Structure 1
């Protein structure tokens, strides 16, 4: 597991702070790996998910650090979403 993915798992679990999702979301961090969020929290996992969010390492870090708004990132083409848009919006609100 890359340091980026390991750091993302820790940061996402801290941001979730006990919140759960009705479904699963996978963050694909280009050239680094994947992080999956489901009812058990965030884990380094590349299995199928209801929603897939794809972004570069830099964009993903900016999202986690609160330097980039998830909606702005999507609208500007810095991240791509496949699947359940409602789940993507819920995760976006958790990151904000």
Structure 2
């Protein structure tokens, strides 16, 4: 298991089902332009998929170091975004829901 897949698994482990009630969203992750993961949030559940997903509502594009920092809480996601270390493709406002769905 790679560091990136461990980070995504750790994020999934913190999933808050109550915050996902009634949601049907796909959060894509493009890490280092080489690794792709999706967290599929649907009505209180969360599933992890590997690979690209053209149906992702929002895709977070970053490097593995920044992702690990965000997941561990050492890096603030908003600061990473403002510094250009994290960017979004798709509905950027949905990226803000990540803190609610996957609290630290």
Q: TM-score range by the shorter chain?
A: 0.7 to 0.9
Mapped partners of 2:15, 2:51: distance in 1: 17
- Root-mean-square deviation (CA, aligned residues, Å) is 2.0
Q: Which runs of 5+ in 2 are unaligned?
A: none
Q: Which has the higher helix share?
A: 1
- The SS at the match of 1:81 is strand
Q: Report the CA distance shift for 1:45/1:8 in structure 2 as closer, same or farther (over 3 A).
A: farther
Mapped partners of 1:11, 1:72: distance in 2: 21
Give TM-score scaled by structure 1 length. 0.82
Number of residue equivalences: 95
Give TM-score scaled by structure 2 length. 0.76
Deviates more, 1:32-41 or 1:52-61: 32-41
Q: Which has the higher strand share?
A: 2
1:95 positional shift? 4.8
